[in-house]
Every structure is written in C-alpha cells, then in structure tokens.
Structure 1
C-alpha cells in the first residue's frame, strides 16, 4: 500500500501521491493521475499558507472524478509556518472538514482528502475547485445584497450549534474564555512587530485604543466567552467567500476554516461588517444587517437572546478583533500591492467602526 507521507508543500506533490490520496477516500476507483499542472492562488489576500490549483490528467477515463482541485499547504516561510503551527490553525481546518462540515447546511467546499501531522508541522487539504464562481474581494467590498446573504448564511450556521450539546465533542476548537490569557500574551508579544510593519499606516485613534487594549484583551474575551456560545468561523470576510451563479444552486460557499472558535456568533458579523464594508456604506446598513442577523437566529430556533445583548456583544467583538489585526499584521506578508491595499482598507474601516461605536468605554480597565 502506498505510504501517504504528507508533502511539505505544493512543490513536493507527485502524480503518484495524488492517486494514492484520492483513492484512499474513494474519490477515484480505478483511475490514476498521470500528470498535473499547478497554479498558485491567493497572494496578497491574507492567507497563512500555500493555496494551489491543480489540474489533473488521468490515464484512464472514470466518471465523476475531479479534473481540477484546490490544494492547501502550510506556509513555506519557516518562521510563519512555526508561528501558525503554534496556533494549531492548519490542524483545525483539517478537522473542521472531517468533523463539522458534514453536520451543517452552510455550503463549504467538498473535501477530497485531508491529513495532518502536528508534530512534524505538515498538513494538507485537497478541496473542491468552485471556479468559475465569483470570489469575494475584501478590498473592493460588496453589494448590499451580497452582505445580506453573507449575514443570513452565517446566522444559519451559528443557529445549528447555538448552546448545543454537540459543542462538547468539539474540544479541539478553542473557546474565548479558555484562551483569554493566551491571546493577551500573544497580543503584547506581537505589538512591536506589528508597529514596525504598519505603524506609519495607523490612524491616531486606532493606535490609541489598540495600545490600551493590550491590558484588556483577556477581560473582553472573558466577557464574550460568558455569552451564548456557538461555533464561529473566525475569519469571516469577503476573501473567504465564493458567490455562486444561478445555475450552481449554491449562492454562497465559505472557505478557509483555519480559525474556528467557540464563542459569540455575532463576532463573525462584527468582523465581516467592520473589515469588509467601507465606512459610509457601513453606517447606512450596519444596524439593518445586525437586526437581520438577529432575526435570522430567531427564525432558525434560537431563543433567549435579545437584540440589545446582541448589539453589546457586537461592540465588544469590534474590540476583540484588534487581536486579529495586530497578530495577523505582525506575522503575515503583505508586501505585494494587493496585500498593502488589504491592510490599508482593514485599518481604515476598523478605525471608523471603533470610533463610531465608542468602544473605549467598554474596556474593563
């Protein structure tokens, strides 16, 4: 039997390995991959790994086999790879597709193969290629219709796990309260590297509140962790959304499940609204989107969660997402043109949301 050692990167993939991986999960039966072409994707989009499209050629015909798929590997930069492995995010994504995706209605790519070796730091996913569907663009933003769709779909996902007994079986997904102190330590550790990379791009209020937040990360996370809990995506933004065509029957597919957490679902809403929508449009649509989210939760069976509590959780989540801006900004490479545009957009949009919601008053100390 073929020993399916996890390739270190896309450059280490062979036709023989692809044949073995796809055969081991029943995706192919008698076919063999004889060759493939590769195309690097996702540069400048804030991803913490290699994303490669593989176009496969088979030696014999077989119905239903994938002729194109998406391969995900850890970052090849050893320093980034080590940091991200410390967070356990690659392992989490592999387990998400194996254990969570089959339980929910939210559309995710079909997983053809997944494997993880945390000790070695090697991980791989072979996923469905959804081209030619439209990939969201965090820099360009989205229409009001796309925003409403994104909010409604994530509400359906959150409702499925809302205070559910199934959360106990997902003990590999970190919780807000259990990771509060760890996240505060990491935030402080990455603050100086973050400033060194993007300090000259920071609006004054963002800088002021982000500095003060360093001593309040754990407090805010514990407050959020005490609220009704569900599974959150953790990186719910347009670059991780694929919008389908009328013919596809899948209006929205959500990708990049490396950062799920157990905590308040509205944290995903705050992340999407603050990071993806320009300030003027956000101010005009924000409360409507939040009310739409809350209404969808009720429609899908959530009880005992009032809108005022949802709004407070939303405001606290805006603060919490400073951890994503600081930690991600310190670690990820945004040196290309698209990466710089992404950072500028996120910083400016987040700054305006922090100001508009007067989040300074929410910090415990």
Structure 2
C-alpha cells in the first residue's frame, strides 16, 4: 500500500491497515482499507477530480472475484477497467475516482486498483430512479467522458485493449442478443407487457444493422452508464462514475440514451428529456466539441435507445450473480422504461429507415 500511494500521495509510509468488503460486484471484489501512517506523514482525503496529492485515511481496493482459473470470460473486462484508469482517466473530464495504482497480470486474470473512497456518496438505485436534477448532473458528467475523445484518432493507440467492433463481432452480438431476448421474454412472461415483449424482440432483430449503421460520431463509451454505477453526493451536484469494465468505442448517444431511458420514469422522461439532452450537448460544446448541433445530438439520442434493451437483456440472462426478487424488479423496470422510450421516440422506425 505504501508503494501504491507514493505514486500520488507524497512520501508516505503506511504502518497499519484494516479492511472490510464493500459492494456486491460479481465480476470484481471491492474492499475499503483504513490506513495508518508513520508519525508526521501527510494525511488528507481522497477525491474524484484527478488532483489528489494527500494521503487518504481510506481507499477502495478492487480485485478479481472467484477462482482465477475461472476468469477467462471476464478478463477482457479486467483489461478494460485497468486500461481506463491507467491510460485514459487522466485525459477525461468525467468525475471518476482518483486511481493510485492500476495493475494487471500478463494473463489478465489478476488485477488490482487502488481508488479514492467516495464515501459518504451513495450509489443510485436503478429500480427507484432519480430526480431531474440528478439526471442533469449525470448527463453533464457523461459529456466529460465523450468530449475529450470525440471522433478521436488517438483512440487507435489503445487498440490492444480497447478495440472497435468488427463485422464478425457485430453479427455475433446480434445472434446473442436475439437468443437472450427469447429467454428474457420467456422468463418474465407473466410480468412483461406484451407490447414491451414485442419491442424487445424488434430491437434484438435490428442489433446487427443498428451497430453497423452509425460510424460517426464516435467516442469512448462507458457502456453501462446507469444509476447503480453512479455515486451521488448527499447534497448538490458532483456525481462520480465507477465500474469501467464495459467501455468500448461507439456512438456517444448510446450512453446518453441508455441512462435517460432507464433512470427516469416514462412520464418524467417525456417531460424533461429535451432539456436533459440539451444540457448534455451544451457541456459537449463547453468542452470543445464543434460541428455537432443540438438537433444532431437529439437524433443520436433516438438512435442510441436500443442500447437499453441490449444491456438489460444480456445483463439479466448472463449475470453471474444469484437471481433475486430485487434483481428481477430491476431488470423489468429497465426493460419497461427502455421500451417505452423506444416507442415514444420511434427509434426502431428511424433505424430501419436509415440502415
């Protein structure tokens, strides 16, 4: 721990520590470490603004979960999260925990992140949703991820761990999504509105065309930018994004649409979505994005809406965790809200006409 912190917290010496598990992650395990320092050493608090120079009293340490021999499927996610903190976090304007150490083994089955502790900030609740002020904070924060890499040629330098999907990968994803959708609809047949079931099937059938049809604009995507992966402070703005194992390169409107469609009840989204998309666009402009109008942004929001069914269905059907009543309610709420948004904004009709 001393070696990890000396990279950004000065000449510190950790003399004692204790830890306890935090969170319920399935792909990784997280722990809060309480640290003691040699007498006279610097002390302070961690943060999420990338400018931490003092030694924190607590940090969060994230590592792989389960038997390393069984991590073949998830190790790409480990590479992505470590890659983000090691190579991209210093170049983004999104609030995310400061990272003192990002290390991974050659086979990507073992990794360690030493991160700032955002306590007492609390994760959002996907089932409960958020209010409009929180949504505005979240979409402006999201623009801080997209703007620095907007149509960025420099992303090619990250191709060893952050690649764009090729045609074969998109075709495979289309088949996977269709199969998972059939299972999702069958699992929740008693609770799922038939109209939502049909929207899910239509979205899955368009996955290949949808992913292939929009090459620009592009940027880094969080991929799972939803309330459970956002830490909100007790008062006011300052949301912080965590869990970077699903990042990719693609249409920025996918992150925006996924968040707004799943975070807000349909009636609230309908009333406020225009203003929230505009807030996101205004932040893009503030951060230097040019040649991209507010009208273009709203159209990309419509184009991005199938990301909701994609991530919801795949996350539900292929989740490693034990199925619970709470997880069922969460996935159903996400599916219902995403489907309502797709129909309201005629997203599938737009994609069919354009691709």
Smaller-chain TM-score range? 0.7 to 0.9
Spell out the pairing of 1:133-282 with structure 2 (5 A cutoff): 133-171=121-159, 172-176=161-165, 179-188=169-178, 190-191=180-181, 194-195=184-185, 197-224=187-214, 226-244=215-233, 251-282=238-269
Q: Contact conserved, 1:183 with 1:323, CA < 8 A, in 2?
A: no
1:59 is displaced (CA, Å) by 6.5
Pair 1:325 & 2:312 matched = yes
Whole-angstrom distance in 2 between the partners of 1:340 and 1:74: 25
Question: Aligned runs of 1:1-365 on 2, under 5 Å?
Answer: 18-19=1-2, 21-22=4-5, 25=7, 27=9, 29=11, 31-42=13-24, 48-58=27-37, 62-64=41-43, 65-76=55-66, 81-85=71-75, 88-117=76-105, 119=107, 121-171=109-159, 172-176=161-165, 179-188=169-178, 190-191=180-181, 194-195=184-185, 197-224=187-214, 226-244=215-233, 251-332=238-319, 333=321, 335-364=323-352
Residues in 2 aligned to 1:337 and 1:129: alpha-carbon distance in whole angstroms = 30
Q: Which whole-Å deviations, capped at 9, do the CAs of 1:141-194 have from their partners, x for residues lacking one? A: 222111111112222332221122322222232325564224224324544554
Q: Deviation per CA, 1:270-291, whole angstroms, max 9, x where unpaired? A: 0110111111111111122112
Deviations 1:314-359 (A, max 9, x none): 2221113322112111122263454333223212211211221233
CA contact 1:190–1:327 (8 Å) conserved in 2:
yes
Q: Equivalents in 1 of 2:93, 2:181: separation in Å?
A: 38
Structure 2: distance between partners of 1:19 and 1:320: 41
* Higher alpha-carbon deviation: 122-131 or 60-69: 60-69
The number of aligned residues is: 339
Contact 1:38 1:53 in 2 (8 A): yes
Range moving further from structure 2, 75-84 or 340-349: 75-84
Structure 1 unaligned blocks of 5 or more = 1-17
Gapped regions of structure 2 (runs ≥ 5): 44-54
- The higher relative CO (CA closer than 8 Å, separation ≥ 6) is in 1
Please report the RMSD computed on the Cα atoms of aligned residues, expressed in angstroms: 3.0
